[in-house]
């Protein structure tokens, strides 16, 4: 069985869910790796972008923020990791149910993909809420705004929920016909 046969044998809902998860995965990767969750523009740091793992400024360079002693930032990072991994695992399970003969028709793998879609979305949502609640207070009295990584995390979690719903509605039977 080839990739084309696996894709053609899957239900329309599974195909759409796979495409949505590819997009959600792309947005999740960008949000996870970039320093654009929030921007600060001030005389002290010039223009700085904060991300999950680094903080970069035009005039001060970059500094790592992993291993921080701020509890809220550590929680933000932890839930960001869980959200990122959840969306990656959801896509992997959908790929397995669509393209691997021994997983085709496997309801457990499909249910695992559904669970990972929702778990990843919930964890990204918690990370977004933590960042939105704490970051302005942490920044202080300087002009700040949320960046594109923040927005992409929100879009990724919404797309993941939609993909999970599609997998529940159209993924019964695990993604297509069983091999003969």
Burial degree of 59 (CB within 10 A; 0-12, 13-18, 19+): exposed
Q: Domains (ranges, CATH) in the chain?
A: 3-170 (1.20.140.150)
* 55-86: pLDDT as tens digits: 887 777 777 777 777 899 999 999 999 999 99
> Among 35, 66, 60, which Cα is nearest to 146's?
35
pLDDT reported for residue 178: 42
pLDDT reported for residue 140: 62
- Give the whole-angstrom CA distance, residue 130 versus residue 118: 18
What sign has the CA pseudo-torsion 131, 137, 140, 143?
positive
Backbone angles phi, psi at 67, to 5 degrees: 75, 20
Separation of first and last alpha carbons in the chain: 11
């Amino acid at each position: 069985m080839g990739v084309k046969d696996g894709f053609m044998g899957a239900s329309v809902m599974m195909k759409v869910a796979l495409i949505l998860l590819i997009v959600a995965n792309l947005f999740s990767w960008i949000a996870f790796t970039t320093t654009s969750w929030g921007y600060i523009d001030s005389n002290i740091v010039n223009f700085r972008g904060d991300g999950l793992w680094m903080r970069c400024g035009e005039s001060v360079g970059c500094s790592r923020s992993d291993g921080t002693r701020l509890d809220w930032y550590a929680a933000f990072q932890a839930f960001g990791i869980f959200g990122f991994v959840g969306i990656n695992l959801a896509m992997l399970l959908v790929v397995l149910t669509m393209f691997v003969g021994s997983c085709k028709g496997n309801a457990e793998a499909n249910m695992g993909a559904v669970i990972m879609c929702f778990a990843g979305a919930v964890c990204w949502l918690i990370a977004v809420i933590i960042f939105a609640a704490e970051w302005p207070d942490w920044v202080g009295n300087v002009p700040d705004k949320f960046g594109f990584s923040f927005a992409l995390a929100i879009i990724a979690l919404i797309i993941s929920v939609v993909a999970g719903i599609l997998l529940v509605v159209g993924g019964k039977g695990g993604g297509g016909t069983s091999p003969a």
